[in-house]
Amino acid sequence: APPSRSSQLLAVASLVQAGLVELDTLWSYLDPADSALTQLHADMMSKYEEEVGSLGKVDLGGNSSGKDRNSFDRALQSFNQAGSQKLRLATALISMNCWSAAHRVLVHLQSMCKPCLNHHVRSALCDLLKWLIWPYLHKDAAPHPLGKQAGVESTFQCTRRFGLGSEDAEKSGTNGHASVPAALSPSTDSDKLLPQIRLVLEHLEYFLHTDIHLLTALWKFILAYIKEQHPAEGSQVVLDEQLVAIIYRHLLPAASLVPNNPFLSDLMWSVLRQLGVYQRFLIYSCWETTYDNFLLKLVCAKTKSQTKQILKRVVSNAEKRDLIAHQSHFHICKLCHSNPIPCLETMLSDLLIGFNVNMIQPYVECTNRCPEMTADIMGYMISRTCSKPSGADRVFLSKSDATYAPWLQNMGEFAGRFFKKHPQTDLHGLLTIITKRINSETDSAPKEKGSPSQEYKGESLIRLILESLIEHMGGLLTVADMTAEQLICLAGGPRLRSESVSHGGKKEDNARKDKARVALLSALVDQGLVPVLWYSLSRQRHHFLSEEFSESHGGGGGLKLLSLLFDGNHQCFLHLTEFLSQACPRDKYAALMPPTQQVFSMFEPNLAFLAMRNGLPSYGRAMAQAAAAVKDGEATDAPTTIQEPESVLELERVVRMFLPKTFEDEGLSMPFYITFWRLSLQDIFAPTEGYDKADVNIQNELKATEVAKKQMERDRDFNPHAREYRSLKKEVVRLQDFSVKLKEERSQQLESHKQVMARLEQEKAGWFTKPSPHATAAFVADMICPRVLTSHADALFCCHFVRMLVKLKTPGFQLLDFYNSWTIMLTQCIRCCSEREAQIFGVFLRDMMSYVLHLRDDEERYNVETKDNPCFHRNYYEDPKASMVEWTQFGDIKKGHSKWEGRIYKALRAGLDSDDWMERRNTLLLLSQSYEAFPLVEKYAKPILNAIESMRDKEEYSDLKTLAASIAVKLRTQRDRWVEKAPEKAPDKQAEKGADDSGRNKSSGTKASDGKTSDGKTKESSENGVAVPSESRDRDRDRDRDRVAAAAEKEESAAKRSRVREDGHKESKDPKDGREHKVSTVVIKDAKESKEGREHKSSSALVVKDAKEVKESSRDAAASDRKRGSERNASGHEDREKRRRSERVDAAPAAGSRGASERSAGERHGGSGYSQPRNALAAPAEQGSQYNSYRSSGGSNGGDYSRGGGRSAGAGGGSGGGYSSNTGGRYGDRRR
């Protein structure tokens, strides 16, 4: 049939509209047949499927060269330009606005094909939509001067007669169909206009991408509708379901078919940003499902393929000549304008597989130029990834080696860096999901006894995302192994801490850092997530310490897994609290906190005080206010008692509920307890050295930057607008500003430190109400022990707090007894701590022992520091100003140092000899931090060094082997600093000959007929060509060395006795000496069975060998008698043999030796009273049992809660609001 003209079809459409022609009768005369249209559409779809399938395939055989790659494009264009009569009749009916007939024709055509793929039908529907919404969009515009309405923007405007249909509809009605009107009519009322728009879009679908004017007009219509319905700015809008369906079913898929259009992308975001996070994420998820539809699937595949090609070229430092790699952010941005979901999904898929972590930052840089809607969609995709449960191919935790899944670590780092790069992105959705998921495995109902426990899947480890957000957006850079300088800078302000841990290179702009920090804080505060996160972390912490978790993971590697999970939870809590303290002022921080009693119910005391400390009023502010009042004349003198604010009084009331009622009877005051927990490291210590060094570094950087800037200015081709020159100018400004702010921070901290010290000086007299060993033990058990392992800053606080007590000359505090107490109590925690706590304890040990080394280094300096200082009293006195006071002598410090190192050595040696991998590793980690101050006494340092070198040579685990090798090197570098070294003087020839004869006599006494010794080892001599046993040689060398040093030792002993006062406390009768000179058969047997005997053959082989020879070698009785007789008859050897045996007892960490020493010390400790002078250097071993009694009495008191530090954690329930009883025992309970 000849082609029909547009005018002819319009005339036929008008006849159909007037009812003069029956549409069903006319349809049978039109070409082509329905079957032909169906076949044409089927051929096009088959070619479409081939096109989509070919994108993801690589033809290795080379058979694809002969295929037509443009077959689908030609088929699509053929259908698009088809001028069949049936399609053009539908176009004419739409142009005449005969909507009821057009609707019938379009529905019938949709059963055979997609009529909107034909440009005649599609353009008519687009023009009809523009005609409908035109008055609404321009209702506020000025009227035309001639009273005419502006025409619709269309190429086919001459063929559109939309107004005729609306006029006829008004005359004839709705044609009997209520749901389908006879004609459509424009309106300025959105409620009338919205249903008509949906009718047209149902036929147009999402193929309006060819008409950009219509697409932008529809987005403008929705934006105007939102402003009309919700005039208030800044409020979250909730759209009705009709508009939401229009957005995700029609407008967003249409935008996916449009090539990159920045204007359209910004227009879409101007609408979506008005919605809440729930509706936005819902729209994104529905948009993602539409990529399975026609044409969208092809576009999605092409976008993913292009994204992969671009990401293959991404490098960290791309050269400018590589246009793809250097401009990768530009190419990614172009793809994200139209199809952000496929592009970002391809990028994230690399993170979820084995991915090079060094490429995370370059991937983030690729999103540098992406629009805001793309950043919001990235937040949705990260949130969707976090919300997925664990499965066979998606694990959060590797239990075999107790490590986090790689995809989780990669996702955490990527999320932190991405949101730092785009701080304007909404974080509410992600933080909400993280908060809910942390409690995903702890909210289950309690189970009945005997029911199987659930396996921990690790879904709550999604908190790693939160930690990464705090680290990167909050600016809290963390260092796994901090140096001594970085530890000192922990006492400074935020700027000093960030400067100490920041890496070299270009520093970030402070304005950008502040913007990211404010964005994260706003997201946490606006939704009230801070108390919820604290509660979630508390529940997770108690779950890890519960019996259920212990039973489920009590097998091999269970302790390592527990350490990983517990340390991670604790670190997340510390990061969250520190971030809030830096980002919030004190009053805002206090407003974020839950009630005080609730905080103490959720956490142990150390964590509860840590959470509340930043919200309490400044400790030195009251003293400053009092000083200001005196200066202004309002008061004559500073008040003796400072009135505390209401928050501090409430804190004291809650603390009294959780503490036992007899706490103050032990000799400590409640204000002292509150003061200790209220203060921070910044209050009692000002790191002037750290500030000085930071200022020097900044000045050096500033000078180097100025030099580079001047060199560029002297260049012949100098361009002041060059990127390098402008970056140098910005760096100079940043360094100058940072230097000024760092000086301000330093002055503020020094002023605060001065105020705090003034108040402490005023209140120190009321701290120790009853000076006694019980008060010192309570100070260690209730204050030092719970706080020391909380963090590195708290460990340093405990060290500096002790030094501050000495500096203030605090009455009632005795330094020697304090060291006796903590070396007994805290060493119990060495074998039941995690990796993080082992490192923290190493820092505490190093700082505490450094102070002892400082005291024993110079006697003159020691006398100056201890002059008139009651902290160096040797005994406790009710009246610190008593006339008869015994002071701690310089020799007592040396003697105490050796004793304290011996106690610590026993605990460490048990860890080194343990069969558990975790205990050995924790001991090595502790030594890696404390090697500069412990061990330094030679008789303990040598065995530790030998044990670590043996571990280095024989350890089967590679990580322990490497760690032991590094620590052995560190310990060897400290040999020159070892103290109490044994004298090494070469004996004369006569003495050497006598030593050789004595050695031969001893070896001959144990000789057997078969050429072996009594213990089965081959004996060697110079005569028969066999070497002398090493044990005999070591014993002979020791004996010769003792002969040479005998006279010097006697003189030293006489000098010590001459310094002792005439009060009966002579050194020879000292209880400690009496304890150490006891040698029993149990000690000898334990020394033989101890693993440490291998490292101390030179000192203990004689005792062990004698005990064994008596049992096994009856044939050598005569020789043994001669040997023992020569030893008994040796003149002047009796005192020396006692000293050597006492050294063996200290060196062997056997159970019998430990029990004997503690029983002996306990007898002495039990006889001391408050008024009776007590030798503080005597070992208060009873404090160990007293410490255990503190823990066991917690349940009855209902308030004992200190974890591992002295009080049982099971008391919370008795006080009302206490926390789980499983918290107190921790690793030690699980090991038992």
pLDDT at position 1214:
36
Residue 150 has pLDDT above 60, yes or no: no
- Please report which confidence band the pLDDT of residue 961 belongs to, taking 50, 70 and 90 as the band edges: very high
pLDDT at position 1204:
38
Mean pLDDT of the region 296-309: 93
Nearest to 417 by CA among 370, 471, 376, 463: 471
pLDDT at position 236:
76
Return the number of other C-beta atoms located less than 10 Å from residue 88's C-beta: 24
CB-based contact 462:396 (threshold 8 Å): yes
**Which residues partner with 1012 through β-bridges?**
1018
- The 3-class secondary structure across 357-370, one letter per residue, is HHHHHHHHHHCCCC
576 SS3 class: helix
Q: What is the pLDDT of residues 886-895, one digit of tens each?
A: 889 999 999 9
Mean pLDDT of the region 633-653: 71
User: 590: which residues sit within 8 A by CB, 6+ positions away?
Assistant: 615, 616, 647
User: Dihedral angle at the C-alpha atoms of 172, 178, 180, 185, nearest 10 degrees?
Assistant: 60
**Which residues partner with 404 through β-bridges?**
397
- Please report which confidence band the pLDDT of residue 644 belongs to, taking 50, 70 and 90 as the band edges: confident
Nearest to 215 by CA among 114, 130, 124, 115: 130
Residue 821 has pLDDT above 70, yes or no: yes
398 SS3 class: strand
pLDDT at position 631:
54
pLDDT at position 1069:
38
Residue 1007 has pLDDT above 90, yes or no: no
Q: What is the pLDDT of residues 1128-1147, one digit of tens each?
A: 444 444 555 555 545 444 44
- Asked which of 155-164, 256-265, 479-488, 538-547 is least confident by mean pLDDT, the reply is 155-164
Residue 126 has pLDDT above 70, yes or no: yes
1218 SS3 class: coil
Residue type, 931: Y
Mean pLDDT of the region 295-313: 92
- Distance (Å, whole) CA 722 – CA 731: 14
Residue 457 has pLDDT above 60, yes or no: yes
- Please report which confidence band the pLDDT of residue 375 belongs to, taking 50, 70 and 90 as the band edges: very high
Residue type, 90: A
Return the number of other C-beta atoms located less than 10 Å from residue 985's C-beta: 9
pLDDT at position 428:
92
Percentage helix, strand, coil for the chain under 3-state DSSP, each rounded to 5: 65, 0, 30
Residue type, 1141: R
Residue 177 has pLDDT above 60, yes or no: no
pLDDT at position 902:
93
Return the number of other C-beta atoms located less than 10 Å from residue 174's C-beta: 13
- Distance (Å, whole) CA 510 – CA 858: 47
- Distance (Å, whole) CA 597 – CA 852: 40
Residue type, 529: L
Nearest to 1167 by CA among 826, 824, 813, 875: 875
pLDDT at position 1043:
56
Nearest to 876 by CA among 668, 667, 1165, 1171: 1171
- Please report which confidence band the pLDDT of residue 164 belongs to, taking 50, 70 and 90 as the band edges: confident
Return the number of other C-beta atoms located less than 10 Å from residue 613's C-beta: 17
pLDDT at position 56:
67
Q: Supply the mean pLDDT for the chain.
A: 77
- Please report which confidence band the pLDDT of residue 141 belongs to, taking 50, 70 and 90 as the band edges: low
Backbone angles phi, psi at 902, to 5 degrees: -65, -40
pLDDT at position 392:
78
Q: What is the pLDDT of residues 701-710, one digit of tens each?
A: 999 999 998 8
pLDDT at position 1085:
37
CB-based contact 1085:936 (threshold 8 Å): no
The CA–CA distances, whole Å, from 608 to 579, 591, 611, 1170 equal 16, 16, 5, 33
Token pair, residue 641, equals 């008692």
- Asked which of 69-83, 366-380, 422-436, 508-522 is least confident by mean pLDDT, the reply is 508-522
Alpha helices (H) along 603-668: 605-613, 621-632, 646-658
Mean pLDDT of the region 600-616: 92
pLDDT at position 1092:
38
Mean pLDDT of the region 429-454: 71
424 versus 402: which is more confidently predicted? 424
User: Dihedral angle at the C-alpha atoms of 612, 613, 618, 620, nearest 10 degrees?
Assistant: 140
Mean pLDDT of the region 204-212: 93
- Distance (Å, whole) CA 1087 – CA 475: 54
pLDDT at position 470:
93
User: Dihedral angle at the C-alpha atoms of 237, 242, 246, 249, nearest 10 degrees?
Assistant: 110
- Please report which confidence band the pLDDT of residue 332 belongs to, taking 50, 70 and 90 as the band edges: very high
pLDDT at position 746:
93
Nearest to 638 by CA among 650, 624, 651: 624
Alpha helices (H) along 585-722: 586-592, 596-602, 605-613, 621-632, 646-658, 670-678, 681-684, 688-713
pLDDT at position 743:
92
- Asked which of 411-420, 884-893, 1166-1175 is least confident by mean pLDDT, the reply is 1166-1175
Nearest to 127 by CA among 154, 96, 159, 166: 154
Say which residue the tokens 């930052």 belong to. Answer: 361
Q: What is the pLDDT of residues 529-541, one digit of tens each?
A: 999 999 999 998 9
Mean pLDDT of the region 776-791: 93
b/e 563-581 (16+ beta carbons within 10 angstroms → b): bbbbebbbebbbbbbbbbb
Q: What is the CA radius of gyration of the chain?
A: 42
- Asked which of 252-256, 562-566, 757-761 is least confident by mean pLDDT, the reply is 562-566
644 versus 209: which is more confidently predicted? 209
- Distance (Å, whole) CA 1206 – CA 1216: 21
Q: What is the pLDDT of residues 1012-1052, one digit of tens each?
A: 433 333 333 333 333 334 444 455 555 555 554 555 555 55
Q: What is the pLDDT of residues 310-329, one digit of tens each?
A: 988 888 777 777 777 788 88
pLDDT at position 761:
92
pLDDT at position 92:
92
Alpha helices (H) along 111-211: 119-137, 162-172, 190-204
Nearest to 1137 by CA among 1043, 1005, 996: 1043
pLDDT at position 1124:
45
